[in-house]
Amino acid sequence: MPVQTVSSFNLPTDKVILTHPTGATCEIKTFGATVTSWKVHGQERLFLSRLSDLEGNKPIRGGIPLVFPQFGKGPLMPGQHGFARHSTWEYMGVSKDDDSEIMVSFELRDSDATRASGWPYHFKLTYLVTLTATTLGTHLAVTNTDKVPIRFTALLHTYLTTPDISQVRIGQLGRLNYTDKVQNNLICFEERDQVTIQGETDRIYHSTPDTVPVEVAPGQVVNVKTINFRDTVVWNPWVEKAQAMADLDDQEYQQMICVESGSVHESVTLPSSQTWEAGQVLSVDSE
């Protein structure tokens, strides 16, 4: 079966599993509409902490959590990164299924819970996940169903897996400005042609190119192609932050790198009755 749904004791659809004819697979939890697995050529490409809560009690540590309408810490509850990754989305079914690609969709609308978070607007989010032989697409559409403009930030918090963080090389971010959150949001300039990780890293690279190649191991590259997102966040908690996270093993920071497509340096303003769309496509070269 190209699309399989898995129920739980309290959800008719807890997880959706896509299987491409070539053997590529991905899994999406309806909690947060979080992609938790993507395998190509039998190899897992996304990082998922072995301590991650998959029961819907807290956001999932790994995969591709969806950040909306707030990136980082801010006035909205329940905590940083907004309510989308805390919410159970409605699975809307299969949008496309043929020999080339499989697409499924999820939806989240405003509710008492989203308004109680401190974001009072009416909206509709549509999230498409598309699997091909060598790519994984994740596409977000935000529709403003309110009578006033809405402002938000949005990001795909992609965790890529690596056998060793010291091997990671991130291209196409050289000669760009970035906000360094480790240094109290200091605006810096990236002088290196390739970004490597040698300590705690939490950076928002501004106005990044459409495709950012991430070498996760020698000869293994995951290309992160963005669609209408402005920025790229690079994050690794390193030793002390990893030790402070209950849902991340103390040593797991060495097996992950977050390269995240988003519009977060400046917020998006969306007029009433309009729709804003953005997304990314992850791809691996033939191996």
Residue 286 has what pLDDT?
Answer: 60
CA distances from 200 to 23, 128, 212 (A): 36, 32, 20
Quote the CA–CA distance of 104 and 238 in Å, as a whole number. Answer: 35
Quote the CA–CA distance of 258 and 212 in Å, as a whole number. Answer: 12
CA distances from 2 to 96, 133, 256, 285 (A): 11, 12, 29, 23
Q: Is 80 annotated as a binding residue?
A: yes
CA distances from 22 to 25, 40, 232, 235 (A): 9, 9, 30, 32
Q: Is 85 annotated as a binding residue?
A: yes
Identify the CA nearest to 34 among candidates 9, 58, 12: 58
* Domain housing 251: 3-284
C-alpha gyration radius of the chain: 18
152 contacts 68 by C-beta, under 8 angstroms: yes
Long-range contacts from 25-30, C-beta under 8 angstroms, 24+ separation: 25/131, 26/129, 26/131, 26/136, 28/104, 28/106, 28/129, 29/54, 29/60, 29/63, 30/88, 30/89, 30/90, 30/91, 30/106
* Residues 6+ positions from 222 with CB-CB distance below 8 Å: 45, 160, 213, 214, 216, 282, 283, 284
Is residue 99 over pLDDT 90?
Answer: no
Q: Considering 86, 157, 252, 265, which one is annotated as catalytic?
A: 157
Quote the CA–CA distance of 73 and 154 in Å, as a whole number. Answer: 13
The tens digit of pLDDT for each residue in 111-141 reads 999 999 999 999 999 999 999 999 999 999 9
Residue 92 has what pLDDT?
Answer: 97
Is residue 230 over pLDDT 80?
Answer: yes
Q: Considering 20, 81, 139, 260, which one is annotated as catalytic?
A: 260
CATH number at residue 264: 2.70.98.10
* Mean pLDDT score, 269-281: 98
* DSSP code at position 64: B
| CB-neighbour burial class of residue 20 (10 A; exposed 0-12, middle 13-18, buried 19+) | buried
| CB-neighbour burial class of residue 278 (10 A; exposed 0-12, middle 13-18, buried 19+) | buried
Q: Is 203 annotated as a binding residue?
A: no
- Pairing type for strands 169-170 and 275-284 reads unpaired
Quote the CA–CA distance of 144 and 221 in Å, as a whole number. Answer: 37
Known catalytic residue: 157?
yes
The tens digit of pLDDT for each residue in 48-83 reads 999 999 998 899 999 999 999 999 888 887 668 999
pLDDT bin (cut points 50, 70, 90) of residue 244 is very high
Against a cut of 0.95, is the pTM above it? yes
* DSSP code at position 114: H
Is residue 287 over pLDDT 60?
Answer: no
How many domains are contained in the chain? 1
H or E, element range at 241: helix 238-244
Known catalytic residue: 260?
yes
Quote the CA–CA distance of 227 and 234 in Å, as a whole number. Answer: 17
Quote the CA–CA distance of 230 and 208 in Å, as a whole number. Answer: 6
